């Protein structure tokens, strides 16, 4: 693999390994500095040694990669906000009681059915200096509250620590927030907020004001709300207000990537600005002016679009390309790619955990590396066929490169992705060029009605086409079980297969065949592990009590309502455990599993008096004398699921403590698993 022959590639990989080690091992600052100092000493010693004995240069290479790894560890540690003394996580009783909290709104998140959501940066706690980011949730009501980036707010509230998922194999939102250095959430009512007249005027404030101005001017021109939100996503990367149905259509059609501003969008910006700057002469001074304007334009666009990882990646890479062109130097695209990764991770190591960042770089790498091989398969003779073939090969290369990681994160595969990508490219080209012009004119209060309507209609028909493709649901493969071992073995097969296709040697053929065997072994081991597992799970759900019994990959669901089809918690469990739902049954009062006798009391409060269960499960808040129940049936364990009222849970909990019986409330501790 030629790219690994570049020293910069190995240095970048070592740096990334360092970031991952610091995150996974939670290394202390003291250890970080000691390891960095030791690696610098080793690097200097090996460098001196290699000068006098060139044959021992291997040691210098190893020391270089070790230093890169230690720099990665240091970078991640220094960016971990919880290590800072002023961070709110280091305050005593920060999660146990209410505090007077002053913070600044720094970003707007997508709202849900219950709350408007923001990211806020804390300034003070109880009028003492503090720092750190929190997720702010403001409960929706009939009153209107217009918050904007930069608003300084004071509330009296209690910070809630990010909680782990309450059901098995669900998306861990707590871990997701922690990776972004957001360690707590604040839930408040609108009437609890005091907004300061002072506004923090940062670069984000001016970027938000610019976006607001664009939106208001488009609304004045009668731009339909639905199409305008898609336009803001396509041009500015603002996806917060897109309707869930439209996002679903884009997902099913396999074109969600166009809603995330990336290299394609930044490329259009570069082409547009290059055209605008064409009148400037290509003298030494003129070329420098062009370069400065181009780079400023690219980074201004990144700021306005919210500095997403995919935008930053594209902006940094295209900036290096622009500099290379200015210096009249031929650029190696792999070097540009690697430098942009290293540059971004130095300033924000958390990007390495961002799914968009991973998908963006993987897609671009495989387009650069694999698309030329696919392109050689067929050489069309006319220009139209060539354009279609190029688009198809680019789409296939990107899809193959990102397929394993998409299956790992999203567990679905859109079968018509290649059709959707070919069909939307002409529309997207028009929309991007037209959209950039309209957004720039709207920012200066001069967007012509004709251009606005043309952009609106283009997006309307784009949505219609994507909706038509997404309607073929039989081509969408959902709920695909895919774990880390399958992810690694799949990439080994893809990479070895591509290398063998480029250099069909016996060694590479052997490695490719070994990768196929490894993938098969992984499937066999997953099946074997699944078949030997038996477990009984009580879920944390609020309305319909739910219990599953799994024997191998066969899963039986016990529920109070077996007709419900929208069951996210069950689907997550089946996908995460390679399971198949074989049967649905009504929840009964008595169950047996692995020698355990289980009694279930529902809202009727009726139960057999003579039974002596090992486990008592309470659902649907039954009216009963709990102390008498415990003395009568004498259970060894009590479980209360999420269908019970929280107020009565505390009474049950205290009673169990007095009776010295373990008590498990799923709303506090999450699901209960019995092996």
The reported pLDDT for the residue numbered 307 is 66
Give every CB contact of residue 320 below 8 A, 6+ residues apart in sequence: 331, 336, 339, 340
The reported pLDDT for the residue numbered 271 is 74
If you average pLDDT over residues 568-585, what whole number do you get?
A: 89
The pair of structure tokens assigned to 650 is: 């505390």
The reported pLDDT for the residue numbered 153 is 92
3-state secondary structure 603-615: CCCCCCCCCCCCE
The reported pLDDT for the residue numbered 214 is 86
If you average pLDDT over residues 481-491, what whole number do you get?
A: 93
Per-residue pLDDT reduced to its tens digit, 179-205: 889 999 999 998 889 888 888 888 778
The reported pLDDT for the residue numbered 96 is 80
pLDDT at 170 over 80: yes
CA–CA dist 446, 618 (Å, integer): 64
Return the H-helix or E-strand segment holding 176.
helix 173-179
The reported pLDDT for the residue numbered 342 is 87
Residue 458, classed as helix, strand or coil, is helix
pLDDT at 542 over 60: yes
pLDDT at 71 over 90: yes
pLDDT at 594 over 70: yes
Phi/psi of residue 299, each to 5°? -75, -30
Per-residue pLDDT reduced to its tens digit, 94-108: 888 899 999 999 888
Question: What percentage of the chain has pLDDT greater than the value 90?
Answer: 26
DSSP, res 97:
S
Q: Which of 515, 266, 258, 498 has its CA nearest to residue 372?
A: 498
If you average pLDDT over residues 321-348, what whole number do you get?
A: 77
The reported pLDDT for the residue numbered 665 is 92
**pLDDT grade for 663, boundaries at 50, 70 and 90:** very high
Burial of residue 363 (CB within 10 Å: 0-12, 13-18, 19+) is buried
Q: Determine contact, residues 340/320, Cβ cutoff 8 Å.
A: yes
Residue 133, classed as helix, strand or coil, is strand
**pLDDT grade for 510, boundaries at 50, 70 and 90:** very high
pLDDT at 3 over 70: no
The reported pLDDT for the residue numbered 261 is 64
The pair of structure tokens assigned to 189 is: 């009512």
The reported pLDDT for the residue numbered 54 is 65
The pair of structure tokens assigned to 224 is: 């339909």
Give CA 85 to chain center in angstroms: 28
Per-residue pLDDT reduced to its tens digit, 357-394: 888 888 888 888 888 888 888 888 888 788 788 878 88
If you average pLDDT over residues 395-419, what whole number do you get?
A: 86
Q: Determine contact, residues 160/665, Cβ cutoff 8 Å.
A: no
pLDDT at 56 over 70: no
The reported pLDDT for the residue numbered 5 is 64
The reported pLDDT for the residue numbered 408 is 92
User: 359-363, 404-408, 652-656: which has the minimum mean pLDDT?
Assistant: 359-363
If you average pLDDT over residues 442-460, what whole number do you get?
A: 86
Residue 637, classed as helix, strand or coil, is strand
User: 145-159, 285-299, 493-507, 518-532: which has the minimum mean pLDDT?
Assistant: 285-299
The reported pLDDT for the residue numbered 486 is 94
Q: Determine contact, residues 77/27, Cβ cutoff 8 Å.
A: yes
pLDDT at 496 over 90: yes
Residue 194 CB-half CA count within 13 A: 7
If you average pLDDT over residues 462-486, what whole number do you get?
A: 87
The reported pLDDT for the residue numbered 475 is 83
Question: What percentage of the chain has pLDDT greater than the value 70?
Answer: 96
Q: Which residue has the tokens 């089946």?
A: 574
Per-residue pLDDT reduced to its tens digit, 304-326: 776 666 677 778 777 877 777 67
CA angle at residue 638 from 635 to 644, to 5 degrees? Answer: 135
CA–CA dist 608, 589 (Å, integer): 9
Pairwise pLDDT comparison (495 vs 390), residue with the higher score: 495
pLDDT at 246 over 60: yes
If you average pLDDT over residues 241-256, what whole number do you get?
A: 82
Is the CA virtual torsion 606, 608, 610, 614 positive or negative? Answer: negative
* pTM of the complete model: 0.85
Q: Determine contact, residues 645/603, Cβ cutoff 8 Å.
A: no
DSSP, res 602:
-
**pLDDT grade for 84, boundaries at 50, 70 and 90:** confident
Q: Which residue has the tokens 């709920």?
A: 479
Q: Which residue has the tokens 């599993």?
A: 593
CA–CA dist 7, 478 (Å, integer): 41
Per-residue pLDDT reduced to its tens digit, 250-276: 888 877 777 766 666 677 777 777 778
The reported pLDDT for the residue numbered 248 is 85
Strands annotated E in 506-602: 534-538, 546-551, 554-559, 580-586, 590-593, 596-601
pLDDT at 1 over 60: no
């Amino acid at each position: 693999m030629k790219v690994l022959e570049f020293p910069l590639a190995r240095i970048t990989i070592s740096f990334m390994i360092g970031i991952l080690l610091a995150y996974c091992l939670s290394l202390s600052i003291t250890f970080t500095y000691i390891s960095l100092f030791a690696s610098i000493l080793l690097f200097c010693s090996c460098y001196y040694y290699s000068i006098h004995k060139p044959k021992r240069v291997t040691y210098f290479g190893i020391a270089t990669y070790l230093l890169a790894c230690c720099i990665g560890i240091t970078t991640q540690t220094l960016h971990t906000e919880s290590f800072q003394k002023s961070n709110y996580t280091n305050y005593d009783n920060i999660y146990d009681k209410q505090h007077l909290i002053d913070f600044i709104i720094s970003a707007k998140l997508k709202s849900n059915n219950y709350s408007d959501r923001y990211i806020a940066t804390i300034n003070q706690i109880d009028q003492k200096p503090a720092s750190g980011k929190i997720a702010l949730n403001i409960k929706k009501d009939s009153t209107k509250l217009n918050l904007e980036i930069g608003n300084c707010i004071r509330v009296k509230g209690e910070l809630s620590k990010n909680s782990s998922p309450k059901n098995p194999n669900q998306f861990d939102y707590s871990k997701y927030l922690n990776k972004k250095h957001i360690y707590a959430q604040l839930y408040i009512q609108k009437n609890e907020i005091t907004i300061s007249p002072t506004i923090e005027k940062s670069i984000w404030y001016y970027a938000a004001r610019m976006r607001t101005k664009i939106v208001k001017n488009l609304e004045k021109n009668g731009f339909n709300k639905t199409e305008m939100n898609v336009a803001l996503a396509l041009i500015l990367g603002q996806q917060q207000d897109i309707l869930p149905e439209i996002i679903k259509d884009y997902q099913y059609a396999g074109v969600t990537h166009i809603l995330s501003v990336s290299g394609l969008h930044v490329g259009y910006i570069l082409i547009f600005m290059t055209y605008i700057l064409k009148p400037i002469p290509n003298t030494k001074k003129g070329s420098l002016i062009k370069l400065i304007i181009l780079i400023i334009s690219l980074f201004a666009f990144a700021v306005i679009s919210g500095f997403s990882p995919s935008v930053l990646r594209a902006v940094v890479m295209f900036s290096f390309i622009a500099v290379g062109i200015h210096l009249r130097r031929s650029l190696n695209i792999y070097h540009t790619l690697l430098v942009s990764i290293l540059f971004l991770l130095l300033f924000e190591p958390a990007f390495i955990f961002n799914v968009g960042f991973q998908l963006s770089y993987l897609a671009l790498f495989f387009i650069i590396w694999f698309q030329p091989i696919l392109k050689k398969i067929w050489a069309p003779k006319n220009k139209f066929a060539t354009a279609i073939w190029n688009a198809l090969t680019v789409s296939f290369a990107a899809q193959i490169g990102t397929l394993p990681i998409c299956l790992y994160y999203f567990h679905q595969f859109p079968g018509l992705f290649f059709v959707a990508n070919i069909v939307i490219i002409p529309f997207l080209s028009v929309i991007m060029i037209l959209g950039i012009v309209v957004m720039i004119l709207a920012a200066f209060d001069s967007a012509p009605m004709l251009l606005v309507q043309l952009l609106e209609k283009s997006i309307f028909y784009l949505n219609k086409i994507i909706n038509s493709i997404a309607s073929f649901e039989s081509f969408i493969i959902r709920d695909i079980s895919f774990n880390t071992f399958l992810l690694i073995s799949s990439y080994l097969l893809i990479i070895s297969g591509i290398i063998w296709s480029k250099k069909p040697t016996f060694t590479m053929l052997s490695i490719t065949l070994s990768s196929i065997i490894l993938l098969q072994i992984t499937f066999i081991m997953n099946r074997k592990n699944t078949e030997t597992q038996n477990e009984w799970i009580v879920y944390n759900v609020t309305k319909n009590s739910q219990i599953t019994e799994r024997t191998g990959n066969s899963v039986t669901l016990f529920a109070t309502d077996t007709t419900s089809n929208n069951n996210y918690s069950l689907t997550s469990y089946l996908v995460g455990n390679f399971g198949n739902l074989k049967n649905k049954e009504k929840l009964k009062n008595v169950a047996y599993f692995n020698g355990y006798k289980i009694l279930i009391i529902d809202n009727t409060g009726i139960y057999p008096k003579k039974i002596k269960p090992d486990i008592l499960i309470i659902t649907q808040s039954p009216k009963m004398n709990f102390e008498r129940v415990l003395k009568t049936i004498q259970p060894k364990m009590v479980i209360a699921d999420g269908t019970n009222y929280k107020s009565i849970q505390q009474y049950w909990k205290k009673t169990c403590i007095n009776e010295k019986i373990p008590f498990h409330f799923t709303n506090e501790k999450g699901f209960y698993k019995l092996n």
